[in-house]
A and B are shown apart, each in its own frame.
Chain A
Amino acid sequence: MTEGKAAGSDGVEVSSVLKCWEHRDCSKVDCPARGATDGRCWIVSRDFSPVVSGAEDKFIENCALCSVFLSHLERSIGRRVSDGAVADTVRFIAQEMRVYQEALQKACEGLRVEHLSLETRIREFSILFKICNVMHGTMEIEKILKIILASVTSGNALGFNRAMIFLVDEEKGVLSGRMGTGPSSMEEAARIWSELEASNVSFETVVRMATEERGGRDEALARAAKSLVFPLKPGIDVTVDSVLEKRALHIKDIDSYTGIISEKLRDSFVRYEFVVVPIMTKGRAMGALIADNVFSRRPITEDEVDLLLSLAYQAGLAIENAAVYESMKLRLSEVATLQEVGKGILSTTSLVEVLELIARISAQVIGARGSVLWLYEEGEDRLTPGARFGTGESIVQKSFTELGEKLARWAIAERAPVLVPDCSSDPRFSETEKGLATSVMGVPLAALGNIVGAITVYDKVARSDFDSSLFERDDEKFLAILADQAAIAVQNARLFEAVKQTEKRLRETQALLLRTEKLAALGEMSAKVAHEIRNPLTSIGGFARRVNKSLRTNDPNRDYLDIIIKETERLERILNEQLQFAQLSRPRLQLEEINAVVEESLQLVSEEALARKAKVLKKLSMDLPKLLLDYDKIKQVVINILQNALKFLPVGGKMRVETKKVGDSVNVIIANEGERIPGELMDRLFVPFFTSGKDGTGLGLAVAYQIVREHGGEIKVKSDKEWGTVFCVCLPVSANQDRRRSPIDRRVRRADRRRSSEDDF
């Protein structure tokens, strides 16, 4: 604006006073110059500083629209070029100004709108941010759900009236309600709002209150939520549809909605316009969120739906994290338990302790009500309960043992875990069995390919709201790992016991060996002593005989000498037997003719036989195979038995000596007439010192028995009708007969050549 000058040419100085063109009232009520009396309102002070602050735009605006000013302006056009120019300019400027003003106003308006929307956005983001902060600050699913609901319904956040959360249970294939929050009546709603308004709590406080309280005023809706379970199929309910279709469903008018709203949902929640959004994570729908404004009746906007979706997504992440965290915690605790088990198992080598530990841990860790640890003997197919653990009535536990045994046998037969999540619907159980347990599980214990037992558990107790009350695959996996450890532990404990037993037996055997050695040494000594005695005996007896011979028949001294001779003979017999017994060394085996042995033995007892006037029948088979035996020892055997037979033979009685081949053994049979030996005596015949009846030490048959055993044969005795006693010495024909000519055959044993008439070998 140019320096204002008076319209006239007198060049009157500009006045700084406001003047109005229209003296009369004009309609421009906000013009500051209105009513000014001087008539020239567009005259401003020289230096253009606004006279009235804040009036500039009103000034220009009003003047530009003031008809008087404009008419004056018209009138001034054409008067003088400069005047007209001024007027033009002023008019132009005024027009321009108007345009700019309008544009500016529009722009401001636009900016304001944008600013508003940005503000909303920022506010929304900050709410989400706050919510997320709080949500991700906890790993407990319970708390997360509470936070979500608080966020949805809090005035500081999304500001819905009521909300409910559903989560998908994939194993069961259902969508089930978990939690709900919101007033249950108009009155309650009003009360709460006025409370909140008065206290002006922050969002964080709201959340804290929500997560700290347990139920409380939200009980009705929370309870209602828990009762809602929908199968995950289309056409069941709007919440399920939202999950299956993975999109938000905003139902503005519940009556005209074409989809399904189930009875149950209507009863529990739906009254008015509502929105359902799916809780998603990584493209997977894991639950749903439903919210409405039934009390405030405020319509739900698109923005709110979007915001709810964003929240739901964050919720999905948080829930998933928490679920993973919980499962990790569980796994970690299980691993820790396994470690504990491992350590416990390694540190106890008592089988009983190990078993009880395993039974206890099996039940406690997976949350079963009870468990039985079974031990299995594979060879005998025998299953015995090794240890038990259980809470609850002992009667139930006892009855479970039968069911448990059945289960254990299945697991062992399958060599794999057997999981029966629901006994009542399993046809393999009887009615009574079904009543014993709700769900059972059995795993075999296998170590190094052997089945050593099984663990059976029953009735799982849910450990938290999110834990199942039926045995699941994860429980099975854990028990299987535990079973592996347990199997090794059981195996170890058994081996340890076996080792202990073996050690014990070894020690016993060592002790026995020591004793035997001592005996042997004793035996050797007694042998030496016996030998030393023999010489003097020979002299004593020999000379006694000599003297006896020289006496007259009726000399009484003969009787005395007879006694001396007899006693000497007795001593010699004792010596013989003792020596035999003491030197039971390993037989020196060679291939021999048994008939030769028998013949020589008979010859050696011929005097005794003669004395008893025995009639000896000999029946020695021809063509008997040579036997691997110690000649002298077997001869001793035959002699001992012959002497025993003679002992029990009545005077003049018959005796039978036979050799024959029976199957794969050669039998030497010595039978004598006479009294039958009663049964119980027969058993004890071969016991050392048993038959020390008339004379001798009672070792003869014992020695014979021992020698025959060493040869791998046996002595049998029986009583016959015909024959009082029949002894049978059965010697095995060796599998690989030694047919080669041993170097000793070529010995210079002249005596041998005369002994048997048959060829040597």
Chain B
Amino acid sequence: MRALLVVDDDGSCRKLYESEFSDEGYVVAGASSGPEALKMLEESKFDLVILDVKMPGMNGLETLCEIMKTKRNLPVVINSAYDTFKSNFTTWNAEAYVVKSSNLEELKRTVKSILEQKTCSR
């Protein structure tokens, strides 16, 4: 059972992701901000993080930085409405960058393939 952490300040989005990924068979938790996410990561073990960029306070990139400090091997998927950060080197630590869409297929695919790879590489 894979555990996913969805980090997004938008409640509706979080709820959507939680529902969708649950249906896929994942255990999903949600954090509404960077600091909350970090705290949750400390407390529990997660297999993948879905991270939004535009958040008030600590934004997604900063959060990513922090995560990388302690959990280098934790795959992070950046999921943002903005696609500008795709070419930004700050996102290169992330495994993937998926632009937000109402059609979650791409995101689901990406998560699935990342987790499969991780299983393989172990």
Which of B24-32, B34-42, B59-67, B99-107 makes up part of the contact surface?
B99-107
Q: How far is B14's CA from A543's CA once the two chains are assembled, in angstroms? A: 11
**Contact yes or no, A542 B105, CB < 8 A:** no
Chain A residues near B86: list those with CB within 8 A: 632
Render A743-761 as a binary contact track against B, CB cut-off 8 A, 1 for contact.
0100111110010000000
Q: How far is B17's CA from A535's CA once the two chains are assembled, in angstroms? A: 12
**Contact yes or no, A535 B100, CB < 8 A:** yes
Residue B119 lies at the interface, judged by CB distance under 8 Å to chain A? no
**Contact yes or no, B16 A542, CB < 8 A:** yes
Q: How far is B102's CA from A540's CA once the two chains are assembled, in angstroms? A: 7
Chain B residues near A542: list those with CB within 8 A: 13, 16-17, 20, 102, 104
**Contact yes or no, B83 A631, CB < 8 A:** no
Q: How far is the CB of A482 from the nearest CB of chain B, in Å?
A: 67
Q: Given that A531-B54, A749-B92 are known contacts, is A568 also in contact with B87, CB under 8 Å in the complex?
A: no
Render A607-646 as a binary contact track against B, CB cut-off 8 A, 1 for contact.
1000000000000000000000011100000000000000
Q: Given that A546-B19, A632-B86 are known contacts, is A531 also in contact with B81, CB under 8 Å in the complex?
A: yes
Q: How far is B84's CA from A150's CA once the two chains are assembled, in angstroms? A: 109
Within 8 A of B (CB), among A310-362: none
Chain A residues near B10: list those with CB within 8 A: 535, 539
Within 8 A of B (CB), among A113-127: none
Q: How far is B93's CA from A583's CA once the two chains are assembled, in angstroms? A: 24
Q: How far is the CB of B61 from the nearest CB of chain A, in Å?
A: 15
Chain A residues near B89: list those with CB within 8 A: 744, 747
Chain B residues near A538: list those with CB within 8 A: 13, 16, 81, 100-102
Q: How far is B20's CA from A543's CA once the two chains are assembled, in angstroms? A: 9
Residue A544 lies at the interface, judged by CB distance under 8 Å to chain B? yes
Q: How far is the CB of B73 from the nearest CB of chain A, in Å?
A: 10
Residue B44 lies at the interface, judged by CB distance under 8 Å to chain A? no
Closest to B88 in A: A588
Closest to B117 in A: A754
Q: Which one of A531, A534, A546, A751 contacts B96 once the chains associate, using CB atoms below 8 Å?
A: A751
Chain B residues near A403: list those with CB within 8 A: none
Closest to A534 in B: B81
Q: Which one of B17, B84, B95 contacts A750 once the chains associate, using CB atoms below 8 Å?
A: B95
Within 8 A of B (CB), among A519-545: 531-532, 534-545
**Contact yes or no, A569 B102, CB < 8 A:** yes
Closest to B8 in A: A535
Q: How far is the CB of B54 from the nearest CB of chain A, in Å?
A: 7
Q: How far is the CB of A533 from the nearest CB of chain B, in Å?
A: 8
Q: How far is B87's CA from A392's CA once the two chains are assembled, in angstroms? A: 80
Q: Which one of B15, B16, B54, B87 contacts A588 once the chains associate, using CB atoms below 8 Å?
A: B87
Closest to A580 in B: B83
Q: Given that A539-B10, A588-B87, A632-B87 are known contacts, is A534 also in contact with B100, CB under 8 Å in the complex?
A: yes
Q: How far is B103's CA from A537's CA once the two chains are assembled, in angstroms? A: 10
Residue A210 lies at the interface, judged by CB distance under 8 Å to chain B? no
Closest to A607 in B: B105
Residue A174 lies at the interface, judged by CB distance under 8 Å to chain B? no
**Contact yes or no, B92 A748, CB < 8 A:** yes
Chain A residues near B94: list those with CB within 8 A: 751
**Contact yes or no, B100 A630, CB < 8 A:** no
**Contact yes or no, A751 B95, CB < 8 A:** yes
Q: How far is the CB of B113 from the nearest CB of chain A, in Å?
A: 9
Within 8 A of B (CB), among A642-687: none
Residue A383 lies at the interface, judged by CB distance under 8 Å to chain B? no
Query: Contact residue range for chain A?
Result: 20 to 34
Chain A residues near B93: list those with CB within 8 A: 748
**Contact yes or no, B83 A539, CB < 8 A:** no
**Contact yes or no, B12 A579, CB < 8 A:** no
Residue A128 lies at the interface, judged by CB distance under 8 Å to chain B? no
Chain B residues near A539: list those with CB within 8 A: 10, 12-13, 15-16, 102
**Contact yes or no, A541 B83, CB < 8 A:** no
**Contact yes or no, B102 A565, CB < 8 A:** yes
Q: How far is B79's CA from A539's CA once the two chains are assembled, in angstroms? A: 13
Q: How far is B13's CA from A534's CA once the two chains are assembled, in angstroms? A: 11
Closest to A528 in B: B82
Q: How far is B54's CA from A538's CA once the two chains are assembled, in angstroms? A: 15
**Contact yes or no, B96 A535, CB < 8 A:** no
Within 8 A of B (CB), among A583-601: 583, 588
Q: How far is B101's CA from A541's CA once the two chains are assembled, in angstroms? A: 8
Q: How far is B16's CA from A579's CA once the two chains are assembled, in angstroms? A: 24
Residue A572 lies at the interface, judged by CB distance under 8 Å to chain B? yes
Within 8 A of B (CB), among A235-285: none
Q: How far is B93's CA from A539's CA once the two chains are assembled, in angstroms? A: 27
Q: How far is B77's CA from A750's CA once the two chains are assembled, in angstroms? A: 12
Chain A residues near B20: list those with CB within 8 A: 542, 546
Closest to B96 in A: A751
**Contact yes or no, A541 B100, CB < 8 A:** no
Q: Which one of B81, B97, B102 contacts A545 once the chains associate, using CB atoms below 8 Å?
A: B102
Q: Which one of A532, A534, A630 contacts B87 once the chains associate, using CB atoms below 8 Å?
A: A630
Q: How far is B101's CA from A545's CA once the two chains are assembled, in angstroms? A: 12
Within 8 A of B (CB), among A65-92: none
Q: Given that A546-B20, A569-B102, A748-B93 are known contacts, is A535 also in contact with B13, CB under 8 Å in the complex?
A: yes
Chain A residues near B102: list those with CB within 8 A: 537-542, 544-545, 565, 568-569, 572
Q: How far is the CB of A661 from the nearest CB of chain B, in Å?
A: 26
Chain A residues near B96: list those with CB within 8 A: 751
Q: How far is B84's CA from A583's CA once the two chains are assembled, in angstroms? A: 9
Closest to A583 in B: B84
Q: How far is B19's CA from A572's CA once the two chains are assembled, in angstroms? A: 21
**Contact yes or no, B95 A545, CB < 8 A:** no
Chain A residues near B83: list those with CB within 8 A: 579, 632
Q: How far is the CB of A596 from the nearest CB of chain B, in Å?
A: 15
**Contact yes or no, A536 B92, CB < 8 A:** no
Chain B residues near A751: list those with CB within 8 A: 94-97
Q: Which one of A531, A546, A588 contacts B82 once the chains associate, using CB atoms below 8 Å?
A: A531
Q: How far is the CB of B55 from the nearest CB of chain A, in Å?
A: 11
Q: Given that A542-B20, A631-B87, A632-B86 are known contacts, is A535 also in contact with B92, CB under 8 Å in the complex?
A: no
**Contact yes or no, B95 A546, CB < 8 A:** no
Q: How far is B120's CA from A98's CA once the two chains are assembled, in angstroms? A: 177
**Contact yes or no, B81 A535, CB < 8 A:** yes
Closest to A539 in B: B12
Closest to A575 in B: B81
A-B contact pairs, 14 of them (CB 8 A): A531-B54, A535-B13, A536-B12, A538-B16, A542-B20, A544-B102, A545-B103, A546-B16, A546-B20, A569-B102, A569-B103, A607-B105, A751-B96, A754-B117
**Besides A538-B100, A583-B84, A750-B95, 11 other CB < 8 A contacts?**
A531-B54, A534-B81, A536-B12, A538-B101, A539-B15, A539-B16, A541-B103, A545-B102, A632-B86, A747-B89, A748-B93
Name A's B-contacting residues (CB within 8 A). 531-532, 534-546, 565, 568-569, 572, 579, 583, 588, 607, 630-632, 744, 747-751, 754
